[in-house]
Structures are given as C-alpha cells and as structure tokens.
Amino acid sequence: MRRIMSNNAIFNATVCIIGILILGIHVINLLVKKEKRKDEKLLQDFFLFTVLHFATYLTFIFLKLKGIGDAGIIAFYTVFYIMNNLEVFFLFRYAHIYIELEPKKAKAFSVLNVSVLVVFLVLDLVNIFTGIFFTASGGEYLRSSTMILSQGYQFVVLASIFILSATSKKLTGGEKTAFALYCVLPLVAIVLQNIFKGYAIGYASIIIAIEILFLFLNVKKNMILQQEEEKNKEAQIKIMLSQIQPHFVYNSLSSISTLIPIDPVKAQAALDNFTEYLRHNISSLTETRLISFEEELKHIESYVALEKMRFGDRVKVVYDIRTTDFYVPPLCIQPIVENAIKHGILKKLEGGCLTLRTYETADFFVVEVLDDGVGFCMEEIDFKGNRHFGINNIKYRLEKTCGGELTVLSEIDKGTQVTVRLRKKAN
C-alpha cells in the first residue's frame, strides 16, 4: 500500500514539475514580450494560474508526506478547486477573444462566464462545511458521491468553447480541431482517472491540452498576423505604384518645362514641389510604419501646388488644420485629396473648392476632405469593384494599421465628403 502511494506521489510530482517548466517558459516568454495582443494577455493570465495551480499541488505532495491533517487537506483542495475554476474562467476569456465573437454574443457569454464562476466559487467555500464535493478523513482526501458536480463549470465552459469554435466562420479547420481536442481531452482524462486511481492524469492532460492550445492556436495566430502584415505591405506598394501616375508625372514635367522661359521663378518652385511629391511617394515604398500627419500634409501641399500650376484658379484649396498631432499610414490622405480634385472639382468647368480639415474630439482625430465638385450617386457606386481600388486600399490599410475608419458621402452636383476617423487610444 505504501509503495503504491509513493509511486503516485512520484508520478504526480513529475507531472507538476514538467507542467511548471513548460508553462513557466510560455509565461516568461509572454511576460517579456513588449507589444502583446489582447489574446496573448489573456493567454498569459491563463497560463500563470495554471502554473500556480501546479506549484500549489507540488507543495501539497511534499507536505502530505509529512502529514498535514484533515484540515490541511481540506484547505489545500479548496484552493485547488478555486484555482481550477479561475483557470477555466481565463481559458474561456481567451477562447472568446480568439474566436472573435460578435459584440452582443461576446457580452452575453462574458456575463454567463462571470456568473457561473461566482456560483462555483461560492460552492467551493460551501463545500468546506457541507462536503458536497469532497471531505477528508484520516489524512486522506475523500470524494463525495456528488463530486462530479464540482466539474460543472468546466463542462459549461468546455461545451461552449466546443460549440462556438465549431460553428465559427472565422476559424480554420485546424483551429477548430485544436479547440475540439482541447475540449475532449479532459473527458478522456476523467475516464483514465477512474482506472488509475490516485494518479493525477487530469494534470497531465492539462499540460497536453495547453500545449495543443499554444502550438496550434498561438503559433497559428502569429503566422496569420505575419501574413496580414505582408499583405499590408503589399497593399501599400500597390497604392504607391498606382499613385505615381504616368499622366500626372508627364504633364507636371512638361508644364514645368513650358513654364521655365515664361516664369523661371515659378518653374523652380514647381520643380521643388515635384521633387517633394516624388520623394514622399518613393519613401513610402519602404516606410511601413505610421507617419506624422505633418509629413502627410507636406505631401498634400506639394501635390496641390502642382495641380494649381496645371489648372490655375480652377483648383482652390482651403486648409483648416486644427491639429497635426496624430499619425497616419503613408499615402492615405493624399490619395483622397487627389480623388476629390480629379474626379470632383476638375470635372466642373469652373472648377471648385476643396477643404481639408482636421480636428479632434474626445475620442477621435478626424480628417475631412470636402469638395464642391460634381459628386456621384452613392447607390451606383459599389466600393468593392476594382474601379474603386484606391478607396478600398486606403480603407483596408486604415483599419489594419491604426483602427481607423473611412466614410464617404456624396451627392450629385453638390460634392463629396470623405471622413477619416482615427481612434485616439490606438494613435
């Protein structure tokens, strides 16, 4: 009897040490990582609780060898139960951020998660006095016949994760399998636990399950994000190439050349503007980070000056800049200005006026590009087609790089208003 006991203890202690080592490395890796995503922060909390759980259990194994009495056993197991429930709580928070539930669903499940957690935490404490889950006698831990109830929270959470991940449209097959495996493993462990009594198979299954989560999900997520970054870069290169329009380059250069004998001073200024315009376009090929709005404004000003040289009084621009204290992806606002001039103002015989306005509200930096050009019919335009590649490209990059949103409002013969809103928190 005594030999089997110590075998259990050795097995359980080994499982705990392996768990602490493996998960500890993950936790440290996540802790030192500087820019953490929300799902990584939650994963870190979840891992941290699991490590603490293992560590407490390990301490318990050694203390038990010396004998800690019935009260000690009850105290330790109560801590385990509470920790287990907290672990499950963080697991669910991680899963529901990872699965990217719709806001309404996410809120409903968060409320459910918190309320069921509270119920089970209370039950864990109630157990001390009533023994609904376990009791202790003669220095041994004894499960009650209703012990299975203590796993209720875990079942609710695992079942929710299983269903939510399986029905999610955003997850790939691999991710769904990883979540499904994670949910099924504890059940296998419970069955095995009944065969090998006294061995902490549940703990071993937690380690395997967590490794599945980490390797399949976290690594996969990192890969997806990396691909997304590459896609961003590509989108930027695409717009940069599309922005350097041969027509604009040739016409600007030939206009400057015509201007040289007529007004050399003006021609020189125009050439400077052209240089500035080109410099900004080309540097955005390599610069993928956000740039200050001031820099984007310089680009816009040089572009506008060139259009004024080409079209004279037909292009009027009012700058109403109330803030420049924010950042934008390169080539985001200038193409909007270009669109407004080319497709709005210059389509009118007498030309028109463009207003570039920036201001801040409590939560947002706002950039507005308004023109009184020909406008267009909102119903006839679908921004998904290739013809509106520019606006789609800007919208995509704004969303991906700084959580910005872009809205277009237009009315025939009245003009167009493009509004870019950048959340201050993300800036």
Q: Residues interacting with other proteins, by CB under 8 A?
A: 251, 254-255, 257-259, 262, 309-312, 314, 346-349
Residue 30 CB, nearest distance to other proteins (Å)?
Answer: 56
Residue with Cβ nearer other proteins (352 or 404):
352
Q: At what angle do helices 69-99 and 103-130 cross, to 10 degrees?
A: 170
Q: How many CB atoms lie within 10 A of CB 355?
A: 17
Residue with Cβ nearer other proteins (222 or 257):
257
Residue with Cβ nearer other proteins (130 or 258):
258
Residue 395 CB, nearest distance to other proteins (Å)?
Answer: 26
Residue with Cβ nearer other proteins (155 or 311):
311
Residues 410 and 245: beta-carbon distance below 8 Å: no
Residue 349 CB, nearest distance to other proteins (Å)?
Answer: 5
Mapped to the 3 state alphabet, what secondary structure does the chain carry?
CHHHHHHHHHHHHHHHHHHHHHHHHHHHHHHHCCCCCHHHHHHHHHHHHHHHHHHHHHHHHHHHHHCCHHHHHHHHHHHHHHHHHHHHHHHHHHHHHHHCCCHHHHHHHHHHHHHHHHHHHHHHHHHHHHCCCEEEECCEEEECCCHHHHHHHHHHHHHHHHHHHHHCCCCCHHHHHHHHHHHHHHHHHHHHHHHCCCCCHHHHHHHHHHHHHHHHHHHHHHHHHHHHHHHHHHHHHHHHHHHCCHHHHHHHHHHHHHHHHHCHHHHHHHHHHHHHHHHHHHHCCCCCCCEEHHHHHHHHHHHHHHHHHHHHHHEEEEEEECCCCCEECCCCCHHHHHHHHHHHHCCCCCCEEEEEEEEECCCEEEEEEEECCCCCCHHHCCCCCHHHHHHHHHHHHHHHHHCCEEEEEEECCCEEEEEEEEECCCC
Residue 394 CB, nearest distance to other proteins (Å)?
Answer: 23
Residue 350 CB, nearest distance to other proteins (Å)?
Answer: 9
Residue with Cβ nearer other proteins (164 or 306):
306
Residue 165 CB, nearest distance to other proteins (Å)?
Answer: 53
Residue 314 CB, nearest distance to other proteins (Å)?
Answer: 8
Residue with Cβ nearer other proteins (62 or 250):
250
Residue 305 CB, nearest distance to other proteins (Å)?
Answer: 14
> Could you tell me which residues are beta bridge partners of residue 379?
none
Residue with Cβ nearer other proteins (191 or 349):
349
Cα–Cα distance, 27 to 36 (Å, whole number): 12
Residue 284 CB, nearest distance to other proteins (Å)?
Answer: 26
Residue 34 CB, nearest distance to other proteins (Å)?
Answer: 50
Residue with Cβ nearer other proteins (312 or 385):
312
Residue with Cβ nearer other proteins (14 or 245):
245
Residue with Cβ nearer other proteins (254 or 324):
254
